[in-house]
């Protein structure tokens, strides 16, 4: 655990008692604060009270006397589409609002570091797509070479729940826009933006607000190294903002779409080959085509980001390449779950928006595409260019018929349920086909989360190929 510093003897309110909220309360208490907790859910309040925490009704008008700060769980909106009423009350009372990410960065360093040969480092990864795989790949490479590494944030453990790092330890954080937008402290050593595409637009008041939340990690974080995907205009803009000149090697530009020119530091992937350039010449390369855990151009972009990150820590290209080959990928992200009769079944349930689904579709040919769910703002525009890879789409979700209207002339069938979609795709599939779950939509119309959706796909595939 990372004890929270700076609130010794203070009364600190905690709103939201899920995984991060309870970990925050525990870390506040360990640092000498008095956590006062609240959640709209009676069940969550009962669990917290059973663990010994003091409930404090933050909906009362007189709730804010003597409160030093309010710590908010990331899922609670503080501005758009409308401010949460408790957060608005804290504003009116003049109580500073923060989240667990802000507490982590203000509390991470300790006096023990004075005795270390190498201070611990934090690598923070954000972006619309690929941040989980990039974070896990960095952690995997470091673990493979024997470096002390912990994975936390949106993946792995809660940021305040990790162990205090040892000499030379590295903490790899996956950070969503929900986490970066509110944190009052953001000071990573290495910050990564994988890419940017429309997502969570209602939460951020549009694409500009979404980008602004991501940009905070760089503009306010002041990382020693900034690794930025430049395949979108926002990434190009941010890279330009971070660099003092063409040769400023505090910036590493990455791309999975083109060769990057110039005298600066860059890592890019073309036709399955990763290349690293510094000062105008190539200094490293990896053939990514044979790495089973990183299929497709979208994963090659993740590989570029992870490669750049561990290169900043001094790892050699050949060492990184060897570690890449043992990476198995993550569940629900281009995950090969079965193969039967020459047909492969791939679970990419994490493809919850059109851009991530388009990247999954671009990675394969002869696709039997299972798609649909709760549509997000922006429609399916990015998918259109990849529909040539789709032999037939099988649409699930409560609004499957409406979703299917976006598919135009692409052969499709409205299935509504995962059971029917998988059964029909298996019946139609021929040798060499890919049955791909890449929904291009959120899961909440039928499932608690994308993990449950992916697990249902795997269960139905297992049932279908066993009969």
Q: pLDDT above 70 covers what percent of the chain?
A: 100
pLDDT tens-digit readout, 85-138: 999 999 999 999 999 999 999 999 988 899 999 999 999 999 998 999 999 999
Tell me the residue range of the domain where 311 lies.
107-325
Backbone angles phi, psi at 157, to 5 degrees: -90, 160
- Is a pLDDT exceeding 90 seen at residue 330? no
Q: Report cis status (omega within 30 of 0) of the bond before 81.
A: yes
- Does 384 share its domain with 444? yes
Backbone angles phi, psi at 287, to 5 degrees: -85, 110
- Does 94 share its domain with 124? no
The average pLDDT across 276-287 equals 96
Residue with tokens 């409406």: 402
- Does 361 share its domain with 415? yes
Q: Is 349 annotated as a binding residue?
A: no
- Is a pLDDT exceeding 90 seen at residue 152? yes
- Does 256 share its domain with 375? no
Backbone angles phi, psi at 49, to 5 degrees: -65, -35
Selection from 113, 121, 166, 164 nearest residue 4 by Cα:
164
Backbone angles phi, psi at 265, to 5 degrees: -95, 125
**Helices marked H in 4-67 — which ranges?**
19-30, 42-50
pLDDT tens-digit readout, 19-46: 889 999 999 999 999 999 999 999 999 9
- Does 341 share its domain with 421? yes
Residue where a domain stops, chosen among 43, 72, 98: 98
Tokens (6 digits) for 45 = 């309040």
**Spatial distance between the Cα atoms of 231 and 195, rounded to a whole number of angstroms:** 7
The average pLDDT across 321-331 equals 92
Is the backbone of residue 190 left (phi > 0), alpha (psi -120 to 50) or beta? beta
- Does 269 share its domain with 137? yes
- Does 114 share its domain with 57? no
- Does 198 share its domain with 340? no
pLDDT tens-digit readout, 196-234: 988 888 999 999 999 999 999 999 889 999 999 999 999
Residue where a domain stops, chosen among 263, 290, 325: 325
Q: What pLDDT was estimated at residue 104?
A: 97
Question: What is the full DSSP assignment across 259-281?
Answer: PPPSSSEEEEEETTEEEEEETTE
Mean pLDDT, the chain, integer? 95
pLDDT tens-digit readout, 259-271: 999 999 999 999 9
Selection from 224, 181, 194 nearest residue 87 by Cα:
181
H/E element, 100: helix 100-107
- Does 190 share its domain with 237? yes
Say if 2 falls within a structural domain: no
3-state secondary structure at position 304 = helix
pLDDT tens-digit readout, 41-75: 999 999 999 999 999 999 999 999 999 999 999 98
Q: What pLDDT was estimated at residue 296?
A: 84
Residues 6+ apart with CB under 8 A from 396: 370, 371, 372, 373, 415, 416, 417, 418, 421, 439, 446
Residue with tokens 């205090």: 164
- Is a pLDDT exceeding 90 seen at residue 272? yes
Selection from 385, 381, 364, 388 nearest residue 438 by Cα:
364
- Is a pLDDT exceeding 80 seen at residue 377? no
- Is a pLDDT exceeding 80 seen at residue 156? no
Q: How confident is the model at residue 334 (pLDDT cuts 50, 70, 90)?
A: confident
Q: Is 379 annotated as a binding residue?
A: no
- Does 202 share its domain with 273? yes
Q: Which of 2-6, 288-292, 461-465 has the lowest mean pLDDT?
A: 288-292
3-state secondary structure at position 79 = coil
Surface-to-core class of residue 196, CB atoms within 10 Å of its CB (0-12 exposed, 13-18 middle, 19+ buried): buried
- What is the torsion angle, in degrees rounded to the nearest 10, for the CA atoms of residue 201, residue 207, residue 212 and residue 214? 70
What CATH number should be reported for the domain holding residue 295?
3.40.1190.10
Residue with tokens 């957060």: 87
- Is a pLDDT exceeding 90 seen at residue 355? no
- The pTM (predicted TM-score) of the whole model is 0.86
Q: What pLDDT was estimated at residue 269?
A: 97
Selection from 190, 176, 252 nearest residue 218 by Cα:
190
266 neighbors 254 (Cβ within 8 angstroms): yes
Selection from 116, 121, 114 nearest residue 189 by Cα:
121
- Is a pLDDT exceeding 90 seen at residue 297? no
**Helices marked H in 259-344 — which ranges?**
296-311, 317-325
Q: What pLDDT was estimated at residue 335?
A: 87
What CATH number should be reported for the domain holding residue 439?
3.90.190.20
- Does 18 share its domain with 136? no
- Does 123 share its domain with 50? no
The average pLDDT across 273-301 equals 93
Say if 93 falls within a structural domain: yes
Q: Is 133 annotated as a binding residue?
A: yes
Q: Is 130 annotated as a binding residue?
A: yes
Question: What is the full DSSP assignment across 239-253?
Answer: HHHH-SSTT-TTEEE
Q: Is 402 annotated as a binding residue?
A: no
Query: How many structural domains comprise the chain?
Result: 3
Say if 452 falls within a structural domain: yes
Q: How confident is the model at residue 450 (pLDDT cuts 50, 70, 90)?
A: very high
**Spatial distance between the Cα atoms of 349 and 443, rounded to a whole number of angstroms:** 9
- Is a pLDDT exceeding 80 seen at residue 463? yes
Residue where a domain stops, chosen among 325, 354, 389: 325
């Amino acid at each position: 655990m990372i004890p929270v510093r700076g609130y010794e003897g203070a009364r600190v309110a905690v709103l939201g008692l899920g995984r991060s909220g309870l970990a925050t309360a525990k870390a506040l208490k360990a640092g000498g604060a008095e956590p006062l907790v609240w959640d709209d859910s009676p069940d969550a309040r009962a669990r917290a009270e059973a663990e010994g925490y003091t409930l404090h009704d933050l909906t009362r008008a007189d709730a804010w006397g003597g409160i030093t700060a309010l710590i908010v769980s990331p899922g609670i909106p503080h501005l758009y589409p409308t401010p949460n009423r408790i957060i608005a009350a804290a504003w009116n009372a003049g109580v500073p609002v923060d989240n667990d990410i802000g507490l982590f960065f203000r509390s991470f360093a300790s006096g023990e570091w004075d005795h270390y040969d190498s201070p611990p480092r934090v690598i923070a990864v954000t972006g619309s797509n690929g941040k989980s795989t990039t974070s896990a790949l960095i952690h995997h490479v470091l673990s493979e070479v024997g470096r002390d590494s912990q994975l936390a944030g949106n993946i792995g453990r809660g940021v305040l729940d990790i162990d205090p790092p040892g000499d030379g330890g590295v903490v790899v954080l996956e950070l969503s826009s929900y986490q970066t937008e509110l944190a009052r402290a953001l000071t990573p050593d290495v910050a990564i933006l994988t890419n940017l595409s429309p997502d969570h637009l209602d939460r951020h008041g549009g694409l500009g607000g979404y980008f602004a939340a991501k940009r905070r990690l760089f503009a306010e974080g002041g990382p020693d190294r900034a690794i930025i995907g430049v395949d979108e205009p926002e990434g190009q803009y941010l890279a330009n903002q971070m660099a003092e000149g063409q040769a400023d090697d505090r910036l590493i530009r990455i791309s999975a779409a083109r060769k990057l020119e110039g005298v600066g530091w860059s890592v890019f992937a073309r036709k399955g080959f990763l290349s690293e350039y510094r000062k105008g010449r190539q200094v490293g390369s990896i053939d990514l085509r044979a790495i089973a855990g990183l299929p497709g151009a979208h994963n090659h972009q993740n590989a570029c980001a992870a490669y750049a990150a561990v290169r900043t820590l001094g790892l050699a290209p050949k060492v990184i390449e060897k570690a890449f080959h043992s990476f198995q990928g993550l569940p629900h992200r281009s995950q090969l779950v079965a193969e039967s009769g020459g047909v492969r079944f791939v679970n990419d349930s994490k493809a919850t928006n059109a851009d991530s689904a388009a990247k999954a579709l671009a990675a394969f040919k002869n696709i039997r595409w299972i798609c649909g769910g709760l549509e997000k703002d922006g429609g399916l525009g990015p998918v259109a260019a990849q529909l040539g890879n789709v032999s037939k789409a099988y649409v699930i979700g409560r609004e499957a018929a409406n979703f299917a209207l976006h598919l135009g002339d692409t052969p499709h069938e409205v299935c509504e349920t995962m059971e029917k979609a998988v059964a029909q795709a298996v019946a139609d599939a021929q040798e060499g086909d890919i049955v791909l779950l890449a929904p291009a939509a959120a899961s909440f119309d039928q499932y608690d989360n994308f993990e449950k959706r992916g697990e249902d796909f795997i269960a139905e595939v297992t049932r279908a190929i066993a009969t």
